[in-house]
Amino acid sequence: MKTFSRTSFLFLLFRGLRGDMAPGDYDRLRNLYLALPISASCKIVAKRFFILGCRIGRLLAGSRVKSRFDRPFPLPNIRLALQHSERADYFVFGVIDWWHLHQRPQHLSKGLACLGHRVFFISPQLKHADHKGFEIESLDDEGRLFSVRLQAYLPCNIHYRVPDESAVAELLQSFGELLFWTKSHKRIFLAEHPAWHPLISHLPGGVVVYDCMDHHEGFGNGVDINLRYMEDNLLSSSELTVVSSQWLENSVKERARKTVIIRNAGDFSHFSSSPEKIYYDPKARRTLGYYGMIAEWFDIELVEMLATEFFYCRILLIGNDTVKAKTRLKKYPNIEFTGKVSYNDLPFYLYAFDVCLLPFLPTPLIQATNPVKLYEYLSAGKPVVSIDIPEMDQFGIYVYTAKDRVSFVNQVRHVLEDCETLEQSRMRQEFVRNQTWQERTERLAHEIASIVCQKKVSIIVVTFNNLQLTKACLDSVVASSFNTNLEIIVVDNASSDETSEYLRLWKEGHASRHIILNSENRGFAVANNQGLRISSGDYLVLLNNDTCVTPGWDLTLMNHLARSSSLGLLCPVTNNIGNEAKINISYNSREEMLDKSRQYTFRHVGQLYPLRTTAFFCVMMPRKVFESVGFICEDYGRGWFEDDDYCRRAEKIGYTMACAEDVFVHHEHSASFNVLPSQERIQLFERNKAIYEEKWGKWIPHQSRSIL
């Protein structure tokens, strides 16, 4: 029983309004709020004012809160399996907490872990803390399945409020710590609720899949008015939308890139065998049973009719009662409420049911539903009476359906009066025997593995000798690019080593690889323009051959550009360049490079660093920017100042430039120019500088971060 303390409440309220709550204060305040001696409607108003006040308080607290939240996070010391080289990690952004109900998200997560993937189930119940990080619980013995609570200073319930900009920034920091701990190199982001979109849209290098299992707008209780907008964004940005019913597919297919129906299922092995002990009615009455949430979609009036008509039967209702149905139905002595029971204990009650009930109201939420419990009822071979909703067509003769309350009562009477046979029970079990979560999970994994990204990326690499660097570059592109719709164009400027022979072999058998072999060195700009002319991608990348990209670099750059219509040119951070894209990092091997770069990029998830000029060692632009700005200026001959020139042209028509803090690309820097004699390099630099300044005025030298 929660008690209310006026003094404690006012003290914590004051701390919240000044943006200075300590760890645990939010939970204590929440308990006091629940015990407030006021009406429910007044509590809702008070909560909204408190949240607004906390936001203002945190804004005023500003740097004090930020400095606390940025403190180092001690990574957990629990067993974590190594990621399989061929299997992506799944980050499942849940709609319910792992332990709340055992539903579709939990079944799919367990199934994916059984397939050898590492699975991190992100709870919608965020953890209040004054520092970044996460709370994690291991759910298996192999170190492949975990429940995670991300930390935020002022967490929200995603069911009722979409995270605001400040909350997203904190969650990104916390998720970055999770990525750093997992050392994940290939990722699938599986969203179970649209409110996760503001966070997922900023996450680095992963394929986004939306598992649309409910008509979310159909839920009551003050669902955020922005939810439809969030779902539209999630549908348009997800490479695949998985729906659990035909109704849902019809609802979203016009807004989604690609849809596939993967219906719910049952844990056949858990429900198909009777337990040693089952529920027993002391009066030996026949039992009409239901288990699941007793919420606003539950037809209480129908249950009243059943209690009256079948007064000689016990009606057993199992699950959380969120609409005070027990109070309304207390006058019926043959109705029993058990409250919530564990998933493991459900067969104890199910095998006592003579008739299984699905007494729902025909709301849009229910019309969209493919009920999980129906598969479980049938796994036990039990007769089921349900309201007639679209998904019942999938079950044919194995479910008794009713179009209204009267016919529902009649169907229950028919089942009670009909002598059930073992053959009928066996036929129901056979019908659902193969409709298991294992089968559904395998299908989900297959559909995701076969995804071809809707947005195509064209990568143009200009080569001139340095064959070993070229090999390392192209190998890294193939190994580290998560976009499955990739086009690689290599333009060779008359290399005198074995580059041309290598490229011919490299291209063989790959329709997405193209080579152009020039008979003379045509310079950086001309060669890149040759590649741009034959490119077909929605996004274009100019990549030096003395670079090595890191896992997920392409999708992360794409996501940044997709979020901003004004961002025209985007480059990664690197170890070696002459402007602010260079960060303080050092390493002695590729393995150390990957580890050190993860430390940096995972702790800068979603962040951009504004630039005046993006160096063209690695730069991505949307096709619309290229079509507006045009080809690279060829006045600069063999190279230097083309990137400055291109940025000025993009800037002139309103585009901005930036550096993605969560993408790292290794760069040898000037591998081609370093072979030129010193005097020749100086002359080329001065010549091209003069060309640039004639067009754009005095050239502003690039600066490093250390002197800004």
Asked whether this chain's domains 268-433 and 457-698 adopt the same fold, the reply is no
Looking at residue 294, the DSSP 8-state letter turns out to be B
- Domain 89-261 CATH superfamily: Glycogen Phosphorylase B; (3.40.50.2000)
Residues 251-286 pLDDT 10s: 999 999 999 999 999 999 999 999 999 999 989 999
Q: Please tell me the predicted confidence (pLDDT) of residue 64.
A: 47
Q: Please tell me the predicted confidence (pLDDT) of residue 32.
A: 63
State the amino acid at position 31 in one-letter form.
N
Kindly give the pairing relationship between strand 608-611 and strand 656-667: antiparallel
Token output for 641: 């100042």
Residues sharing a CB contact under 8 Å with residue 421, sequence separation 6 or more, in sequence order: none
The pTM (predicted TM-score) of the whole model is 0.86
Q: How far apart are CA 172 and CA 203, in angstroms?
A: 8
Q: How far apart are CA 653 and CA 657, in angstroms?
A: 12
Token output for 159: 């069911």
> Taking each helix axis from N to C terminus, what angle separates 25-34 and 6-17, rounded to the nearest 10 degrees?
130
Q: What is the DSSP string of 330-383?
A: TT-TTEEEEE---GGGHHHHHTT-SEEEE-B---HHHHT---HHHHHHHHTT--
Q: How far apart are CA 458 and CA 540, in angstroms?
A: 5
Q: Please tell me the predicted confidence (pLDDT) of residue 30.
A: 62
Q: Which fold has domain 268-433?
A: Rossmann fold (3.40.50)
Q: Please tell me the predicted confidence (pLDDT) of residue 528.
A: 96
Token output for 561: 């550009």
- For 595-652, give the secondary structure using H, E and C: HHHHHHHHHHCCCEEEECCCCCCEEEEEHHHHHHHCCCCHHHCCCCCHHHHHHHHHHH
Residue ranges in the chain modelled with pLDDT below 50: 1, 23, 64, 222, 707-708
Helix (H, G, I), strand (E, B) or coil at 121: strand
What are the C-alpha distances in Å from 690 to residues 50, 316, 532, 579, 693? 61, 87, 26, 20, 5
State the amino acid at position 97 in one-letter form.
D
Looking at residue 8, the DSSP 8-state letter turns out to be H
Q: Please tell me the predicted confidence (pLDDT) of residue 6.
A: 67
Q: Please tell me the predicted confidence (pLDDT) of residue 60.
A: 54
Q: How far apart are CA 107 and CA 437, in angstroms?
A: 6
Residues 379-427 pLDDT 10s: 999 999 999 999 999 999 999 999 999 999 999 999 999 878 899 999 9
Sign of the alpha-carbon torsion through 277, 279, 285, 287: negative
Token output for 498: 């074995």
Does the structural domain 457-698 have CATH classification 1.20.120.160?
A: no
Looking at residue 266, the DSSP 8-state letter turns out to be B
Residues 443-490 pLDDT 10s: 999 999 999 888 999 999 999 999 999 999 999 999 999 988 999 999
**What is the domain partition of the chain in residue ranges?**
6-61, 89-261, 268-433, 457-698
